[in-house]
Amino acid sequence: MRNKRFFSRLSDFVEYGSFREEEYTLSPSHKANIDTDTPENRWLTSVQHSERSAPVRLMDWLKLRGFEVFNNLYRIASVIICITLIAVLLSVVVFLPPFGSDDNPAVNEVVERYVSKTVEETGATNSVAGMISAYRGFDTLGEAHVLFVAACSVIVLLRVDPSERRRGRLVDPGMTGEDLDFEPNSDLILRKAAKLLVPLSFILGLYVILNGTTSPGGGFSGGALMGAGLILCSVAFGFGRTQRFFGDGMYHLVKTVCLASYALMMAYFIFMGANGFDDHVWLGVPGSIISGGLILPINIAVGLEVACTMYCFYALFRKGGL
């Protein structure tokens, strides 16, 4: 294995995109052993006496120092990649229109329409909300499903079957306690703070979701806030507390109902719009909570979905299930 040095590393790297360090590092004993005919000694003597041809010496040297050379080359190469990439990209920046000016190409009739017609056409005073949920609602539908597909993937990877979990706890409560069991909840400061913060983050999350049409925020940010509140609750009071009102079935119910109703709403909206029918959606009073037509129910659906997905992520990471 020892003589597998630079070139084999290189070929490994080219072929598999990776290599392993330990195999190539010189052991200390190997270094200390001076009298034997090691590549190191051969190299040293050959340098001193110049009795070997240059290629042979080079090969010996590479055999000897292969690992260090390769490691350094790898590091240097990554710095070079980084600098080249940055240089190329900066050369683009040089030609770009100046930052913050009002005549750059991005300011065009689309933007004007989004700003000036949002209230009239979508009923939302926050034109970002109007844009992502109504004008470009199809993108946002995709985005909600990106979160869903990621949640499913994490479930595939980390979910432990509940029956196994229970069995594991019965056999050895101490062993599985670290990850699979409930959080320790002995921290007084955390609990006191959580008593204040959990309701606060729920109310803030709800506020952000409901006011998504009139102020900054919306389904995603509000949902993330509520999710953070749920996580905090489980951290401070243990998973048992949250499990009482938010278990596996509840999670699936909320997720499915939210996503399906979101997709149905969007499908209705798109179908009516594309076929030129009137969709009979009351846009509400701009500026009040009930405004924005379908944006408000969409925000609620997205918010709930994001909240339970965020909590689901955390619960899966901590104990492998809800």
Partner 1 sequence: MTLFEGILLAFLIACAISVSVTRNLLASIIIFMSFSLIMSVLWLTLEAPDLAITEAAVGAGVTSLLFFATLKKIHAIKAEDAKSEEDESDEE
Partner 2 sequence: MELVQNFPFLCIVFSLTCGVLCAVLKGRAAKILCLTWLTLTTAMSLAVLIFTLKSDSFYIYRMGKWNAPWGNEIRVGVLEALMATAFSGVMLLSLLGGMHHIFADCEPEKTNLYFTMCALLMSSLFALIYTNDLFTAYVFVEINTIASCALVMLKSSAKTLVATTRYLIMSLLGSGLFLLGIVILYGITGELLMESIAEKVRALFSTGEYSLPLTVIIGLFSVGLAVKSALFPFHSWLPDAHGSATASSSAILSGLVLKGYIIVLIKIFYRVFGLEVIMAKEISQFLFLFGVLAMICGSVGALRERDLKRMLAYSSVAQVGYIYVGIGLHSRLGLIAACVQILAHAVTKPMLFIAAGGFMDVSGGHKSMSAITGAGRRDPLGGIAFTVGALSMIGIPFFAGFVTKLELTQAALGSGNIAMVTALAAIAVSTLLNALYYVPAIFNIFSKNGQSDYKGLRVRYRADYALSCVAFVLLNIGFGAFSEYVVGAVRRGLELFGM
Partner 3 sequence: MPDFLMNLFTNYYETAAMILFGIGFTTLLTHRNLIKKIIGFNFMDAAIYLFLAAKGYIAGRLAPIIVDGNTDPSNYVNPIPTGLVLTGIVVSVSVTAFMLALTCRLYDRFHTLDIDEITHLVRKERD
Interface ranges with partner 1 (CB under 8 A): 126, 128-129, 179, 208, 216-218, 220-221, 224-225, 227-228, 231, 310, 313-314, 317-318
Q: Do 303 and 205 meet the contact criterion of CB atoms below 8 Å apart? A: yes
- How far, in Å, are 154, 185, 237, 273, 312 from residue 321 at the CA level? 10, 19, 17, 41, 8
Q: Which is nearer to partner 3, 87 or 188 (CB)?
A: 87
Least Å distance, CB 308 to partner 2, is 13
- How far, in Å, are 19, 52, 141, 270 from residue 295 at the CA level? 52, 80, 12, 13
Q: How many Cα atoms within 13 Å fall on the side-chain side of residue 116?
A: 6
| Nearest alpha carbon to residue 61 among 73, 44, 75 | 44
Does residue number 25 form part of the binding site for partner 3 (CB under 8 A)?
no
Least Å distance, CB 293 to partner 3, is 16
Least Å distance, CB 280 to partner 2, is 12
Residues numbered 289 to 318 that lie near partner 3 (CB under 8 A) are: 306, 313, 316-317
Does residue number 19 form part of the binding site for partner 3 (CB under 8 A)?
yes
Cβ count near 69 (within 10 Å): 15
Task: Put residue 231 in one of left, alpha, beta given phi > 0 → left and psi -120 to 50 → alpha.
Answer: alpha
* Residue 61 one-letter amino acid: W
Element (H, E) at 312: helix 295-319
Residues numbered 20 to 59 that lie near partner 2 (CB under 8 A) are: none
Residues numbered 107 to 166 that lie near partner 2 (CB under 8 A) are: 107-111, 113-114, 121, 134-139, 141-143, 145-146, 148-150, 152-153, 155-157, 159, 161
Q: How many Cα atoms within 13 Å fall on the side-chain side of residue 287?
A: 0
Which pair of structure tokens corresponds to residue 165? 């979990």
Q: Which is nearer to partner 2, 77 or 267 (CB)?
A: 267
Does residue number 14 form part of the binding site for partner 3 (CB under 8 A)?
no
What's 292's DSSP letter? S
Q: Which does 137 bind (CB under 5 to 8 A by kind): partner 2, partner 3, partner 1, none?
A: partner 2
Least Å distance, CB 2 to partner 1, is 25
**If DSSP codes are grouped into helix, strand and coil, which group holds residue 129?**
helix
Question: Looking at the DSSP assignment, which residues form a beta bridge with residue 284?
Answer: 291
Q: Which is nearer to partner 1, 155 or 281 (CB)?
A: 155
Cβ count near 183 (within 10 Å): 17
Q: Which is nearer to partner 1, 64 or 224 (CB)?
A: 224
Count of residues that bind partner 3 according to CB under 8 A? 71
Least Å distance, CB 38 to partner 1, is 26
Which pair of structure tokens corresponds to residue 53? 């041809």
Count of residues that bind partner 2 according to CB under 8 A? 60
What's 275's DSSP letter? H
Least Å distance, CB 233 to partner 2, is 25
Span from 27-35, 97-105, 197-205, 264-272 in contact with partner 3 (CB under 8 A): 97-105
Q: Do 316 and 154 meet the contact criterion of CB atoms below 8 Å apart? A: yes
Residues numbered 223 to 282 that lie near partner 2 (CB under 8 A) are: 252, 255-256, 259-260, 263-264, 266-267, 269-276, 279
* Residue 253 one-letter amino acid: L
Binding site for partner 2 (CB under 8 A): 15-17, 88-89, 91-92, 95-97, 104-111, 113-114, 121, 134-139, 141-143, 145-146, 148-150, 152-153, 155-157, 159, 161, 252, 255-256, 259-260, 263-264, 266-267, 269-276, 279
